Structure 1
Amino acid sequence: MSIDLSALPPATRYKLLTAVVLPRPIAWVTTISRAGVVNAAPFSFFNVFGQDPALVVLGLEHHADGGMKDTTRNIRETGEFVINLVSEAMLEPMVRSAAKVGPEVSEPERLGLKLAPSAHVAPPRLADAPAALECRRVVGLSFSAEREILVGEAVGLACRDGLIDPDTWYVDWGGDYPVARLFADRYARLVEVDRHKIPPAI
């Protein structure tokens, strides 16, 4: 089978690309607005991109009219963000944080998510995330009215006690991080099938 991706509608391309590129990490990004509202949103296009400097990339999606979503606006205004890595236990609230709410609404507050202060940037991290990358914006590249690629520099790493051995720098996920393939697949199915079931408020 040979598929012409350019001939497919974007929604179908998204489904195929996120299903064939595995294991695929998902970023749960926290930002803070100028008004002090903490935002949390999941991003299915994300990865680390180098070590010197320590770069990360995020695929930011704008509204259909080109308007910025909260995460993009907050990063442009403050230049800072936190990428939270999540365990399977955090999957349900992560999906729920994708519900459409106004910029004055804090997803962590709405969903009862605990926050912890970051050491190197202003936006807080999610306290229950096993690891979090504290980042600063480097450059944004716009490819269409709806798609922007953000390159950031990871300037700090926070993690739960016991995750990293400081003598060997060995990272032991233990039982906190399930098989990446199953995690990514379950997330994709939850977003596709259950998004319409997400209540507008809690």
Structure 2
Amino acid sequence: MLFIDPENTPDFKRSLFNAIVAPRPIGWISTMGPEGSVNLAPFSHFNLVSTAPPVVIFSCNAPADRHEKDSITNVRATGEFVTNLVTWELREPMNISSLDAPYGIDEFELAGLDKAPSRKVRPPRVACSPASMECKLLRIVQIEPQRPGDTVSNVVFGLVVGIHLDPAFVDPDGRFDVARTMPLTRLGGNQYASVGPLVDLARPSPRHD
């Protein structure tokens, strides 16, 4: 078994973490600046961390050309964001929206995406996404560099205050059929994938001897 010590490996590649912790859901985060500019960017460091209360997170390391990503700057200023589910069919516009564009550039327009209004927050939704969640900022946790070569990382915690679902993917029992949406996931490097074989596994019942 190969062992790697990140602290004592000069040429350690951080991308290894992304390849090991995979597949990862993609948070397609739409935000709005205080002056009204709109931003849309995908984050593969994204997940649900609590259901009661409903809380999601997304995070990223600081880019090389500025102190933090535009999405973080907007959330810090306004306290709001929207997560939009990325499907397999939306992989190309998602990729276009990952362009490192100057602040104020509207990635919705770059990717040819229509906006849909939110109900309880200002940032718009991706109209063609089958599921979007409106979020209010709870806190931003900053992870400081631990060793040479590290950058600051910001972890954004958001309280879900509204959910938009495409009725075509909601079954008669009110459950969201996520498998039919074919959600896009991030693997290592530039690799992406969607769902494969599915299996239902019921939680084991406790034994009563």
TM-score range, shorter chain: 0.7 to 0.9
CA RMSD of the aligned region, Å?
2.3
C-alpha contact (below 8 Å) 1:63/1:146 kept by paired residues: no
2:186 is aligned with what amino acid?
A
Question: What secondary structure is seen at the aligned counterpart in 2 of 1:162?
Answer: helix
Per-residue Cα deviation, 1:167-200 (whole angstroms, up to 9, x for no partner): 623221354315x6xx423x84259xxxxxxxxx
1:8-157 → structure 2 map (5 Å cutoff)? 8=9, 12-13=13-14, 15-64=15-64, 67-144=67-144, 145-157=151-163
C-alpha contact (below 8 Å) 1:29/1:81 kept by paired residues: yes
1:172 is aligned with what amino acid?
D
Give the structure-2-normalised TM-score. 0.79
1:184 match: 186
2:199 match: none
2:175 match: 170
1:3 match: 4
Alpha-carbon shift at residue 66 of structure 1 (Å):
5.7
Alpha-carbon shift at residue 65 of structure 1 (Å):
6.2
Question: What secondary structure is seen at the aligned counterpart in 1 of 2:34?
Answer: coil
2:155 is aligned with what amino acid?
I
2:159 is aligned with what amino acid?
E
Percentage of identical aligned residues: 35
Alpha-carbon shift at residue 164 of structure 1 (Å):
2.2
Separation of aligned partners in 2, 1:112 and 1:143 = 35
C-alpha contact (below 8 Å) 1:64/1:146 kept by paired residues: no
